[in-house]
Structure formats: C-alpha cells, structure tokens
Amino acid sequence: MKTHNDLMKGLIVIVISTTMITCTKKNEEEQQNISKKEIIDKQFLTEKKQSKLTPDTVLEILKARNKEFSNDNLTIRNTSKRIRKSSLGQFPGAVILSCLDSRVPVEDIFHSGIGDLFVARVAGNISNEDILGSLEFACKVSGAKVILVLGHEHCGAIKSAIDNVELGNITALLSKIKPAIEKTNDFKGEKSSVNPGYLEAVTKANVLHTISNIRNNSPLLKEMESKGKIKIVGAEYHMETGNVEFLSD
C-alpha cells in the first residue's frame, strides 16, 4: 500500500515531467521564431540560412516584408558591409518573375536587400525559353525555394495585348498574353483596356497562365515542385497601396 510520501513523490515527478515537456515545447517554438526573425531581419542571407528555409517559410517572409513596405515600416537593408559580403556568394530565398514596368520596384516591394532575391523582368511577366532557364538556374542551381510570378495593376503590356497592338518584336511578345484574354471570355462587362475590372481580370489570368507555362515547359521545375522542394505561386501588385495580393491557382 502506497504511503503519503510515495504519493507526494509521484505527484512531484508528474509535475516536473509536465513542466519539462512544456518548457521544451516553448523553447522549440521560441527557436523557430528566432530563426524566422533572423531571416526576416536585415542580416545577409547565408547558405546555412537558405538551406533551412522551406517554401512556406519563404512565402511568409515575402508577405511579412511586403507588409513592412506597404505600411512604410522600412529599415536599411543595404550597407557597405553587406555589399562586400555578397560579392563572395549569393543564396536568395526566392525568384520573382516580374513585369518590366518601372513602377514595380521588386526588391523594394518585398523590402529586400542585395542577395535576398533573384529578379527576372520581362514585359507582361510572360515565360519563354530564356526565362525558364533563368528560373531553373535560380532554383536548381542556386537553391531558391519559391518562384513568384508577379503581375501588377495598370500593366501596359496587358493593355496592348487587349488592344491588339502590332509593332516590331512587341507583336510576338504580346501573343504570349493572348491566351489569358481568351480565358476571360466569360467576363461580365465591357471587354476593353479602359475598363479597370476587365484589365485586372486579364492581369490575373495572365499570371496563372504563366504559372501553367512554367509547369508545362519545365519538367525540372515541375518535378521540384511535386517533391515539395519549391513552390510556384502568383500574385498581383497593387500600385496605389503597395500591397501584394497572392493568388490561388
């Protein structure tokens, strides 16, 4: 028969064990938060940090940094020390496929500094062989965990495609946007470049069309995504607010 002392000892053991489990869990959570903070802050993204990133964590970072940008809560990220250090190597967390538009300063939108992001720019954020090769280099060779196709409001390339502009090599470029226009045939309202609603619908359809092209035309990136090594996502940049709206495909 257990004595009072035995019962008290057993109770103490249970309390200590529960406390240790709680403390361990808390320490793990704190360590995870510290890890994310270290990556989100102004420190240079090292190979060690990049290797620990998951695609979901990179997306969290991009969203958090865009919030800093849109809220005008900015810090200095580029310093002479960082510039010198980045010359020894680069380990970006993501690659952004953006439009050529000068009003879309990608690194600023995601409040990032030298060495944080790969950026590929082409009018209408379309994909072709050269763009695909660049995305493959960024992810397969250099370790980026996210491909973000970034469209934006008031896109001149989208407007030109809607208006059937034909001019030099621009004609061939705009032809890559035409499938997005076809995908918005069920749009209710005026289908013209002067209708903001229609322009936005085509812009979003074009982002998703580019994502589809990436998956269809790059078996390498498609395989990496299927294995969870990268994520391919789309978004639209809203110029008037600075906010990046992430899209689901």
CB atoms under 10 Å from CB of 63, counted, come to 13
Residue 4 assigned ligand-binding role: no
Residue 152 assigned ligand-binding role: yes
User: Cα–Cα distance between 208 and 179 in angstroms, integer?
Assistant: 11
Classify residue 155 by its DSSP letter.
Answer: -
CB 132 within 8 A of CB 218: yes
Radius of gyration of the chain (CA): 24
Contacts of 131 (CB under 8 A, 6+ apart): 97, 120, 122
Task: Look up residue 157 and give its amino acid.
Answer: A
Nearest alpha-carbon partner for 79 in 110, 48, 115: 115
Residue 155 assigned ligand-binding role: yes
Nearest alpha-carbon partner for 63 in 235, 206, 240: 235
Query: Which residues carry a binding-site annotation?
Result: 99, 101, 152, 155
Query: Which residues carry a binding-site annotation for Zn(2+)?
Result: 99, 101, 152, 155
